[in-house]
Structure 1
Amino acid sequence: MTNEPVEHRSPARATLAISCAATLLVLINFTTPIPTVQVLAKALGSGPSGQTWILGSISIGLAACLMVAGTLADDHGRKRIFTAGGTLLVLASAVCALAPTTAVFVVGRVVQGGASAALLASSLGLLGHAFPPGPERARATGLWGAMVGGGIAIGPVYSALLIKVAPWQTAYWIIAAVSALVTLWGLASLTESRAEQRRRFDAGGVVTVAAGVSLLIAALIEGRGGWTQPHVLAFLVAALVLLAGFVWIEKRAADPMLDLQLLRRPAFVASAVGALVTGIGVIGFMTYIPISAQKVLGMSPLQSALVLAIWSGLSFVAAPQARRMVGRVGDRQQVAAGLAVCGVGELALIGIDSASPWWQFVPGMALAGIGSGVVNAALAGLAVRSVPAHRVAMGSAAGNASRYLGSSIGVALMAAILALSPRGGGPAHEMSVGMNYAGVVAGALAVLGAVLVALCRERPRPRHAVEVPGELELERSA
């Protein structure tokens, strides 16, 4: 029990509640189209490529804007970026609800991604400022991580239930309304925080990273139709040039958006690698579980959403419990262990076909859910402590950018594997074989990620080391 006065704890509790509500909303919105993508595609006249854009477009806004949003939050005010993100989410959700074509809907989802980036980066930054290192911060980041699993659990079920009684547009009108309420709550209750010294705006870094990541994800989405298509190759080359330019600019900038010296920090590398592998090997694979359940077992969108909820629901339950391991098992070790459990769970899903009972999903989804919950909670704490206190929003943004870039890579990778599965035997057989291959790849990637994170060992600081301004605070928080 903390001895901090009640009047000091109340703002921190309000910050925790608002940050968790915003994160839950972002993940509900992120996963809303997953079980209903075929309904949306039919209503909007989308082809196979359009369906992929419906699923993946929000990741462009998220991955491209997260580090930008984190930097702006640290330098110009985390509450200010939070409310701007919430307002933008209201407007973008309305665009999705009013969309007459696939192109307009995709634009709305990209903007939703940018708004979500502002909410995610600023909310975890607000938590890092409100809660000092220790058990209270572990509890706060554990609850924040639980909202990731909770949103993934609720989003598909929410949209699958709603589409039974209302047009698909209703889901996005409700998201707009709830976004407005959360934004007003934040405006009334959050306390502003920012770095004591404002850094110069890194315009070159902002442009190159946003454009480079956007083109990379666009190439991954379009690559499903063939990796040798001229426009896909052009996107990939342009993305690589821009991202190389970003690294060149950051090395020379007086106030870089991403301090590349952080890559020498094992905790920061572990956070980025863990988040990237979570996106590729876990989220990418799980995105196709509802589609697989519908095509292989003939489930309805609601039934397939409930199958996915076995994974995401247990993730929601497990994340807050991870704080009980603080002091006995470090956050880096928790990430490694959680990824390993995810990998075992995904491998346990191999062998499901049209003759399988629905409950054959349960053991693998349950293991992957428990592992994901531990990973989500530990990654949140690791991202905050791996950077100096005045850069907490940027640290959270870098970790989340890795996660959503990874999810885009994962979705494209799983789509490519499914496309390569042997033809013949009917759609159900082709999907089951493809998902078995995908399960092997995803499980192996998760286990490999666990090994890589475990190898990011942190060395104790020598007593005679010279204290460098900006690094001392980082070492103490670590």
Structure 2
Amino acid sequence: MASGRRAWAAVAVVCAALFLLGLDFTVLNVAIPGLRADLGPTLAETQWIVDGYALALGGCVLAAGALGDRYGRRRAFLAGLALCGLASVAGATGHGAAQLVAARCGMGLGAALFMPATLSTVVHVLPEPAARRRAIGIWAAVAGVGAVFGPVAGGLLVQRYGWQAAFWLNVPVIAVIGATALAVLPESRAPEARPLDRPGALLSCAGLLALVWGVIEAPGRGWTSAGVLTAFAVAVLLIAAFVRRQLRCAEAMVPVRLLRGGPVWPATLSLALMSFAMFGAMFLLTLHLQQVRGLSAWQAGVRMVPLSLGLATGALLGPVLARRSGARVPCAGGLALIAAGFVQLGGLTVGSGDAPVLLFEGLAGVGAGLLAPVATELVMSAVPEGAAGVGSALNDATRQVGSTLGVAVLGSVLATALERARPADPAAFALAFTDGLGAAAVVGGAVALLAAVLAWRRLPGLDRPAVRDLDSSTTMS
């Protein structure tokens, strides 16, 4: 493990990679009009150019975390960066939809390799609990900030250099991160080189891919369409087979028994539901700013920046509250703030200005920031040293599936309202949109509120000493 300045330099490097990952989630959205005008992909092809990244990342991250534990997390980090960079070049030089879809999937697969290594590296280089908490707070804030800045950076670059800039952006950044990582990032892996659970890895990949595919396709095909229902059924069967194998296999990839008791399962579920609410809300809010208020992608992106400030503020306060009151206060309180933010989001009208938008961003941003580092620390402190990469990947996978599901579900609620209204003129469209936004906000707020109740009942407070708190020593190193 590293120490002192080298340890914090390693934290800075992995957080920079995490920021880039978040950026790649949203940066391409502002490039779609130019891309379609230039290459002429169909609507379905355009959707998969955007969503291929999420599909590969969400489907492969759990198996990638296990590979990092066995073969080296630094090695996985560098390999993921290299793959992401090469795929970005392929996307920037693409001449057809198939090449761009493949490029985005390659970028997602690269992100799946390096994303688990970011958090497991933080845990490895900072074994002291207080320093680790601070670093995880930074990690949690950066995880959301990159996605917020995607439309801002993308809007500026695409406007000047064309849609290819959304891909070229990655190349110099990855080169700098990779060169720095070679100098400061220490290698870490499981202390015992156990055999890789290949059937488990295949089951997890196939099950998560089926789940994410179904979630992505549901808004367009319909949630009850044969293809989507089949995908969900396959996902349930494969994930159930994966869990059964993990419970019976001597070389289990994931310590599933940790999910049976203690704070791990409510912490991971809280993270997933937080991601559901926040990414769904960001999607709705971006559409409102552009389609109802008529702002450009860059103008809408700038108005999302205060959300990142809220995330950073909450991430600093969350561990402090956890030390004083236990995990349930920042986690349940953060989710309650997100629910309160949805009340503001649901109240937006055609004539609403910036004030309610900023109030939503303040409430929801601080709320997500309070929850994320505390829940993440609960998960990582319960995972044994040899499974740090898998523990990180479990955290990443639940958040990824939650965010994808949030965009799909809340987007479908909005789309259903618009379809029923079938507005014939722009003014009627704006009214129908705000009605649909209100309905989607009710769903998102209800999810956040239910998650708050779950967190309050299941996560540890200072009055529950049977559950190890955040100040306790851990088995990680």
TM-score, normalised to structure 1, is 0.90
Aligned-pair CA distance for 1:428:
2.3
Q: d(CA) in 2 for partners of 1:349 and 1:335? A: 21
2:185 is equivalent to residue 190 of structure 1:
yes
Counterpart residue number, 1:423: 421
Contact 2:210 2:234 in 1 (8 A): yes
1:230-269 to structure 2, matched below 5 A, reads 230-269=226-265
Q: d(CA) in 2 for partners of 1:342 and 1:39? A: 34
The aligned amino acid for 2:174 is S
Counterpart residue number, 2:443: 441
**Is the partner of 2:168 in helix, strand or coil?**
helix
2:296 is equivalent to residue 300 of structure 1:
yes
The aligned amino acid for 1:324 is V
Aligned residues: 464
Aligned-pair CA distance for 1:287:
2.1
**Is the partner of 1:56 in helix, strand or coil?**
helix
**Is the partner of 1:198 in helix, strand or coil?**
coil
Contact 2:30 2:158 in 1 (8 A): no
Counterpart residue number, 1:9: 4
Contact 1:157 1:305 in 2 (8 A): yes
The aligned amino acid for 2:352 is S
Q: d(CA) in 2 for partners of 1:31 and 1:338? A: 24
Counterpart residue number, 1:399: 395
Q: d(CA) in 1 for partners of 2:224 and 2:77? A: 40
Aligned-pair CA distance for 1:44:
4.1
Counterpart residue number, 1:101: 96
The aligned amino acid for 2:385 is A
Q: d(CA) in 2 for partners of 1:432 and 1:70? A: 41
Distance 1:445 1:41, change over 3 A: farther
Q: d(CA) in 2 for partners of 1:215 and 1:453? A: 28
Q: Which moved more, 1:354-363 or 1:343-352?
A: 354-363
Counterpart residue number, 1:470: none
Q: Which runs of 5+ in 2 are unaligned?
A: none
2:269 is equivalent to residue 273 of structure 1:
yes
2:58 is equivalent to residue 63 of structure 1:
yes
The aligned amino acid for 2:70 is D
Distance 1:96 1:331, change over 3 A: farther
Q: Which moved more, 1:128-137 or 1:34-43?
A: 34-43
Q: d(CA) in 2 for partners of 1:264 and 1:15? A: 33
Q: d(CA) in 2 for partners of 1:34 and 1:370? A: 25
Aligned-pair CA distance for 1:400:
1.0
Aligned-pair CA distance for 1:261:
0.3
Counterpart residue number, 2:27: 32
1:140-193 superposed Cα distances (whole Å, 9 cap, x missing partner)? 111111211321232210001112211111121121221122112112221111
Distance 1:430 1:280, change over 3 A: same
2:185 is equivalent to residue 176 of structure 1:
no
Q: d(CA) in 2 for partners of 1:123 and 1:276? A: 19
Aligned-pair CA distance for 1:405:
0.6
Aligned-pair CA distance for 1:474:
8.4
**Is the partner of 1:191 in helix, strand or coil?**
coil
Contact 1:35 1:290 in 2 (8 A): no
Aligned-pair CA distance for 1:476:
6.1
Contact 1:11 1:191 in 2 (8 A): no
Q: d(CA) in 1 for partners of 2:50 and 2:238? A: 25
Which one of the candidate residues 78, 81, 90 is aligned to 1:83?
Answer: 78
Q: Which moved more, 1:244-253 or 1:269-278?
A: 244-253
Q: d(CA) in 1 for partners of 2:381 and 2:309? A: 27
Counterpart residue number, 1:465: none
2:196 is equivalent to residue 201 of structure 1:
yes
Counterpart residue number, 1:379: 375
2:134 is equivalent to residue 151 of structure 1:
no
The aligned amino acid for 1:456 is R
Aligned-pair CA distance for 1:338:
1.2
Distance 1:291 1:199, change over 3 A: same
Aligned-pair CA distance for 1:341:
0.8
Which one of the candidate residues 355, 359, 382 is aligned to 1:363?
Answer: 359
Contact 1:275 1:400 in 2 (8 A): no
Q: Which moved more, 1:153-162 or 1:385-394?
A: 385-394
Aligned-pair CA distance for 1:307:
2.2
Distance 1:233 1:268, change over 3 A: same
Aligned-pair CA distance for 1:111:
2.0
The aligned amino acid for 2:356 is Q
Contact 2:116 2:392 in 1 (8 A): yes
1:360-414 superposed Cα distances (whole Å, 9 cap, x missing partner)? 3111121111112222322332232121233222111101100001111111101
Contact 1:79 1:122 in 2 (8 A): yes
The aligned amino acid for 1:179 is I
Q: d(CA) in 1 for partners of 2:47 and 2:13? A: 32
- Identity across aligned pairs (percent)? 31
Q: d(CA) in 2 for partners of 1:104 and 1:75? A: 32
Q: Which moved more, 1:316-325 or 1:150-159?
A: 316-325
Which one of the candidate residues 17, 20, 23 is aligned to 2:18?
Answer: 23
Q: Which runs of 5+ in 1 are unaligned?
A: 463-472
2:408 is equivalent to residue 412 of structure 1:
yes
Counterpart residue number, 2:225: 229
1:329-351 superposed Cα distances (whole Å, 9 cap, x missing partner)? 33453222211111111221112
Contact 2:60 2:208 in 1 (8 A): no
TM-score, normalised to structure 2, is 0.90
Counterpart residue number, 1:466: none
Contact 2:28 2:166 in 1 (8 A): no
Contact 1:290 1:307 in 2 (8 A): no
The aligned amino acid for 2:421 is R
Q: d(CA) in 1 for partners of 2:267 and 2:35? A: 35
Which one of the candidate residues 312, 318, 332 is aligned to 1:322?
Answer: 318
